[in-house]
Amino acid sequence: MHRLECREVHLFYGSKHALKGISMGIERNTITALIGPSGCGKSSFLRLFNRMNDLIEGARVEGDVLLDGKDIYKGMEPVELRKQVGMVFQKPNPFPMSIFENVAYGLRINGVKDKKVIQESVEKALHQAALWDEVKDDLRKTALALSGGQQQRLCIARALAVEPTVLLMDEPTSALDPISTSRIEQLIQELKNNYTIIIVTHNMQQAGRVSNKTAFFYLGELIEYDNTKRLFTNPTKQETENYITGRFG
């Protein structure tokens, strides 16, 4: 069974038909890259899986979106869903509080009160995000003092602290320098052992470096979805070849 699955999914923003009949399955412990030109539906598709589109006025979804075989739009509360599906955004968005409290935030709003559990969870998440050694002596300092790359890894730690099974990443390195980008890419590869990861990226080299599978979106449609190496070296659709060779987009 796929960890995530879409069956004939359509997404509308009012009268705009943003996603058109998307069907695909995403396996456990894989990294799936979503590529395509701006406005093609990548981020809209990503946000299906934690129901972030619900926050947009006039948005409606048709079809089935499944997490471990359960339809997340039927009988599942968004708050419960987001415990299982973490999200990391394009720009680092640490809260104006300490490094420790940033990571503990999700635990606290989910009702965890045991100080020892919170302490252990924060430390574990910072280790997973490859940030512990850099901040372990500064946990009470403001997160806003961290560098951009450190802030993004902190946001990853914040998402991991509540122990999700899925991690959604919307262009997580687009605001970062090359060294920080490399750190995040290395981290994504390590996290694959424990999480199912979907990453939106405009950087096709990045998709080639980090992902197992790649989905190419164009004008709200899923044009091609295949093993990353095969899609980049031997695409079956002309539109995919045109995009990856730089003829448009």
Indicate whether 242 pLDDT > 90. yes
Least confident residue range of 72-76, 82-86, 187-191, 245-249? 245-249
Nearest to 45 by CA among 26, 70, 68: 26
In this predicted model, what pLDDT tens digit does every residue of 193-222 receive, in sequence order?
999 999 999 999 999 999 999 999 999 999
- Asked if 183 and 131 touch (Cβ cutoff 8 Å), the reply is no
CA distances from 234 to 30, 231, 244 (A): 21, 6, 11
| 60-75 tens-digit pLDDT | 999 999 999 999 999 8
Q: What is the pLDDT of residue 157?
A: 97
Supply 218's token pair: 């164009």
Q: Is the pLDDT of residue 177 over 70?
A: yes
Whose structure tokens read 């070849």?
241
What is the spatial distance between Cα 131 and Cα 134, in angstroms, rounded to a whole number?
5
pLDDT category of residue 1 using cuts at 50, 70 and 90: confident
User: 4-244 belongs to which homologous superfamily?
Assistant: P-loop containing nucleotide triphosphate hydrolases (3.40.50.300)
Q: Residue 249: is its pLDDT beyond 70?
A: no
CA atoms of 242 and 244, how far apart (whole Å):
6
pLDDT of residue 126: 97
- Report domain extents, the chain: 4-244
Nearest Cα neighbor of 130 from 104, 156, 148, 107 is: 156
Read off the pTM. Answer: 0.94
Asked if residues 73 and 65 have their Cβ atoms less than 8 Å apart, the reply is: yes
| 239 pLDDT above the threshold of 80 | yes
b vs e for 106-134, b when ≥16 Cβ sit within 10 Å of the residue's Cβ? bbeeeeeeeeeebeebbbbbbebbbbbeb
pLDDT band at 121 (very low <50, low <70, confident <90, very high): very high
pLDDT at res. 248: 75
CA-to-CA distance for 57 and 101, rounded, in angstroms?
31
